[in-house]
Structure 1
Amino acid sequence: MNNDKNWFHNAVGYQIYPKSFYDSNGDGMGDLKGIIEKLDDLKTLGVDFLWINPVFKSPQVDGGYDISDYYAIDERFGELSDFKALLKKAHQLGMKVITDLVVNHTSNQHPWFLESQKSKDNPYRDYYLWEDARSNKMPNEWISFFGGSAWTYDAQTKQAYFHVFGKEQPDLNWKNPKVRKEIYKMVRFWLDLGLDGFRLDAISHIQKMPWSYKIKSWHGDGPWVPFMNVSGIEQYMKDLKEIFDEYGALTVGEASGVRSTQAPDWTDDSGYINMIFELEHNARKANGDGHVYQMKKTLIRWQKDLLERGWNALYLENHDQARVPDVYGDGSEACAKAFAVAYMLLRGTPFIYQGQEIGMRNFPFQSVTQMRSKELIAQYDKWIERGWDKKAALLKMTKNSREHSRTPMQWTPEKNAGFSTGTPWMEVNPNYTTINVAAHSELRMLYAQLIALRHQSSAISDGAIKFHFERHLQAFVYERENYLILVNLGQKKAHLDFETTSVSTDRNYEHVLGSKARTFRAKMILDAWEYQVFKK
């Protein structure tokens, strides 16, 4: 791994959702010791760093993104000593570790908020965003990401507190210097412990518009405009950057509301963070199916806008997204391979979500009892109350649900997919007998090859990128200097005439990777899900 400040350019990250990764003690839930046991597997795959979803003390209302103690490891996952042991072994294997920094909000069980609730003059009242209200009249009409008002009324003090997510996740008041001091102290604690950096959760929401701001329309960022990348956030980000730079921390921002044209300022050498997760490319059609062409267009735009300055964070799946082969394709391994090649060789740092490398599929939900998200179950109940039949309501709630990505990791064809000797907290996908790590699938081997290619080639890690056939509905074709990547992201054949492009057609091309043996030709017809990588 490179030791320079841009080492992450040729690195690949691996995202772990701890609850579902590996259970070391048979209680049915993944834990830190389980992650430690599987580090050698990840090293074999070739990944350079891990992004571990929150393992801090939490009521788990929102999968750990509702933190009640920033300094404590939740007992579900282990102890602080286990986290230290994880860092130690990962570092011995040459892998870095980052985890989520959740500082837009806390849990409503955090001691700060419990104190804040007691009275208007409590010293912690101003740690959160409280405003005068009535039970039927909130301070404004703003809407939370989870639906409904972004305010929750407190009858005792006749005020309401603000939350961009669930009511159990009150937003912190970043205008309060005491709050910022506490956050910066906590950031240093984890970096001093040996953590290598952070994925900054919901960071673009920490600044809000004045409460008087009226939502004029629901286009673009919709009703969430008042708390998405609002002017004034710059100073907070600069303060954080000073700490990150001091430690050489790797930083990845989840920064919805930051446009592709703004991303260079966030991620270049003088920017706040190293790279940014955009949410735009997760395009859907009206029926909920994935929209391949819109995905392709969005990825190309972000690649172009960050070509001269800044850096992309690349991903297909994560803990909030359904499995790509089912959303955008036919669920086949061939489809999974095509998407792997398409995104892994783009300009940026790729992240692989657990199970993605073996082609894990969406879960075949048959009953609401198989769901674990209280939020989704509540929505399901509302559809039933409106007269929907159970099957239709279940499909509506699960079609692109994040529940699909949270089923237990499939390690072996043995009971519970080798995830746990106990009863898993969530059902294992019944296809685990064929889809598992032990099967040494061609897909997993392909990911290892793609990671190795990023490590070995500066053209892939740092080179320029140029796209061709941009208006083709399913062909994704681009050059990375001396590499030519061709992928058919569809089930129909894709006809490509390179004589209409600037690609040199009279040169010899070395075949590097492919779903079948091919020689480059000026005119090519790619089969369904075919991918080819050539080198000039």
Structure 2
Amino acid sequence: MNKLLKLSVFSCLLAVIASCSPETKSEKAVKNYWPNAGVTYEIFIQSFCDANGDGIGDVKGVIEKLDHVSDLGANAIWFMPIMPSPSYHKYDVTDYKAIHPDYGSMDDFKKLIQVAHEKDIKIVIDMIINHTSDEHPWFLESKKGRDNPYRDYYVWAQADTIQDFLDKKTVTLDSDNIRQWHDPGFGKDYYYGFFTGNMPDLNFDNPKVREEIYEIGRFWLEEVGVDGFRLDAAKHIYPDDRAKDNHNFWNEFRAEMEKIKPDVYLVGEVYDMKEVVAPYLTGLPALFNFDFHYTLLNAYAKEDGMMLAKKQHEILDFYHGITENFIDATISSNHDQPRLLNELGEHKDKMKQAIAILMTMPGAPYLYYGEEIGMLGKKPDENIREPFLWDEKGEDVGRATWIVPEYSTDKTVQPLALQKEDPESYYNHYKTVIHLRNTHPALATGSLNLEEQQYPKSVMAYERILPDQNLMIFHNIGGKTVEVSLPEDYSNVIYRLKGASTKGDKLTLPAYSSIILDK
């Protein structure tokens, strides 16, 4: 069968399914649960879509591909840094009120927001306020001397007052960064930069700095029209021994932003255990759940089905002890971790099941661009952020070329255009499970109930419950088939993955299979 005939047959098959299945996507059936439980799609613009042919992804390229986000079923986009910066990743900002020229103009970005909003897609941007670039005008002024008006915008100390720190090598998150105090070349005064020397920390004890930050937030909400911010390094506004100052700052930041936009969305990066993370919820109502990612991987490694379900239940209970109004931003991957498919040993069945787990668990899930086509990538970070493959190489006019990919190449990753026509592709699987979540309220907003019944070790079992809908979910994350008793009253199969089946009072779960039942 030639390629055109195959595509025609597949298209007809999809049309027949769409006309017959009660679970097929319709405008009325799909509900937007964002921000509390909706799906957010993370984009690194540099690698997403290149509209002008210079090799670098840009804002106009994103506009061209907004239908991809809609078709996938996502409700919002989080953009990694978009502001001017000397680095490819742009986490060291030189101008907080502009778009990086490689990405386009502010008018381009406003147009993107307009078109996205017309498609019911919200826009969240990365806000990097823990530090600036060492090329930011504030820091260039700050370096000029102790009497400069911008000196106190940063954290400076004389060498003799921090000698103990200078004598001791302190390893931080970056193994190459052995010092947090950095010498600008004077030999007497040092400045503090938690991450690297080219990212000097701002001094939030200075009221002028806090007001500068609030004004930046107002600009993006009022003048540009974004819907919210992802707050980078939220734990590091103040040092770890000043955690209460951190919490108070974010409470103040939230209050200032809500004066401008009462429903502003704020999601924070606080990478730590739940006891450290939870107190931030009053200022940052959404926080990334890094435990979800790492526990998922650990559960697969140990074939321990209930490990993740129990961890998630424990975290949610703990958060409810702080506040009832929080958003659990769940992730299975992001721009800082190796690609999920690499973490799962390039195991296709695990990869498909992992997204089924993410989409059937409580929370507001985030998807990292390219995961939906099985992109690959390992450290260093550049190779986790390689260009998206839209089409076969000769046809892919939008593919970015700023980096030569090492992992996500035409030999290792099937491009989106081909995956759209393959019913067994990652892309069509992602669409299916996201649609399932968007059309079954209990999967989005239902409570999480863990079964008291004991199942084989590799089985993950839980209920998602609303007053008018009860769903029972099983995942076998092990490599062998298991059989369990079918829960009482749960007889209707609404979704199955990889051959999960029911017969009589028994449920058969092949390796890496999943099933969702309702009453």
Global fold match (TM > 0.5): yes
Q: Which runs of 5+ in 1 are unaligned?
A: 209-224, 363-397
Match of 2:150 in 1: 124
Shift of the alpha carbon at 1:226? 4.5
Structure 1 segment 474-513 matched on structure 2, within 5 A:
474-481=458-465, 482-490=470-478, 492-493=479-480, 495=482, 497-498=484-485, 504-505=487-488, 507-513=490-496
Shift of the alpha carbon at 1:94? 1.0
Match of 1:162 in 2: 192
Match of 2:368 in 1: 353
Match of 1:425 in 2: 403
d(CA) in 1 for partners of 2:301 and 2:211? 43
CA contact (8 A) 1:323 1:404 kept: no
SS in 1 for 2:384: helix
d(CA) in 2 for partners of 1:244 and 1:403? 33
CA contact (8 A) 2:214 2:257 kept: no
SS in 2 for 1:256: coil
Structure 1 segment 380-419 matched on structure 2, within 5 A:
398=378, 401-415=380-394, 418-419=397-398
Distance 1:506 1:88, change over 3 A: closer
Pair 1:465-2:453 in alignment:
no
d(CA) in 2 for partners of 1:22 and 1:292? 38
Q: Is the deviation greater in 238-247 or in 341-350?
A: 238-247
SS in 2 for 1:336: helix
Distance 1:113 1:434, change over 3 A: closer
2:285 to 267, 270, 274: 274
Q: How many residues are matched?
A: 468
CA contact (8 A) 1:207 1:231 kept: no
d(CA) in 1 for partners of 2:295 and 2:278? 26
Match of 1:200 in 2: 231
Distance 1:149 1:53, change over 3 A: same
Shift of the alpha carbon at 1:475? 3.0
Shift of the alpha carbon at 1:425? 2.5
Structure 1 segment 171-190 matched on structure 2, within 5 A:
171-190=201-220
d(CA) in 2 for partners of 1:520 and 1:238? 54
d(CA) in 2 for partners of 1:273 and 1:424? 35
CA contact (8 A) 2:496 2:516 kept: yes
SS in 2 for 1:146: coil
% same residue: 31
Letter in 1 for 2:334: N
Letter in 1 for 2:228: G
2:87 to 45, 49, 60: 60
d(CA) in 2 for partners of 1:529 and 1:445? 18
Match of 1:219 in 2: none
1:526 to 509, 512, 519: 509
d(CA) in 2 for partners of 1:5 and 1:163? 40
d(CA) in 2 for partners of 1:432 and 1:345? 32
CA contact (8 A) 1:31 1:78 kept: yes
Q: Which runs of 5+ in 2 are unaligned?
A: 1-26
Distance 1:472 1:28, change over 3 A: farther
RMSD of Structure 2 on Structure 1 (CA): 3.1
Letter in 2 for 1:250: Y
Shift of the alpha carbon at 1:527? 2.2
d(CA) in 1 for partners of 2:414 and 2:493? 32
Match of 1:435 in 2: 414
Match of 2:73 in 1: 46
d(CA) in 1 for partners of 2:365 and 2:250? 24
Pair 1:146-2:182 in alignment:
no
Match of 1:245 in 2: 258
**Which TM-score applies when normalising by structure 1?**
0.79
Structure 1 segment 48-127 matched on structure 2, within 5 A:
48-60=75-87, 63-127=89-153
